Amino acid sequence: MPYRERYHRKLDELKALAEKLADLVGAAIDQSVIALRDSNANLAREVIKNDQMVDDASLKMENLCLELLALQQPMAKDLRMIIGILKIGIDLERIGDLAVDVARVPAQCQGRTLVTTLDYIPHMAEVDRKMLAQSLEALMSSDADMARQATKWDYEIDRLYVKARDKLLKGIIENPELISERTSLLMINRHLERIGDHICNICEAIVYMVEAKREHLN
pLDDT tens sequence across 116-155: 667 899 999 999 999 999 999 999 999 999 999 999 999 9
CATH assignment of the domain containing 11: 1.20.58.220
Evaluate whether residue 113 is within a structural domain: yes
- Closest-CA residue to 215 (of 204, 202, 201): 204
End-to-end CA distance of the chain: 43
Cα–Cα separations (whole angstroms), residue 66 to 4, 17, 205: 18, 14, 17
Contact 206, 149 (CB under 8 A): no
Provide, rounded to the nearest whole percent, the portion of the chain with pLDDT above 90. 75
What confidence score (pLDDT) does residue 94 get?
Answer: 98
* pLDDT of 176 above 80: yes
Strand, helix or coil at 79?
Answer: helix
What confidence score (pLDDT) does residue 111 get?
Answer: 58
What confidence score (pLDDT) does residue 115 get?
Answer: 61
* pLDDT of 67 above 70: yes
The answer to which of 4-13, 63-72, 170-179, 201-210 has the lowest mean pLDDT is 4-13
What confidence score (pLDDT) does residue 161 get?
Answer: 96
What confidence score (pLDDT) does residue 117 get?
Answer: 64
Evaluate whether residue 127 is within a structural domain: yes
Give the range of the structural domain holding residue 127, as residue numbers without chain letter.
3-211
Number of domains, the chain: 1
Evaluate whether residue 217 is within a structural domain: no
What confidence score (pLDDT) does residue 71 get?
Answer: 77
Evaluate whether residue 218 is within a structural domain: no
pLDDT, average across residues 65-94 = 90
* pLDDT of 78 above 60: yes
Evaluate whether residue 76 is within a structural domain: yes
Evaluate whether residue 202 is within a structural domain: yes
Evaluate whether residue 207 is within a structural domain: yes
Evaluate whether residue 216 is within a structural domain: no
- Closest-CA residue to 33 (of 48, 44, 23, 22): 44
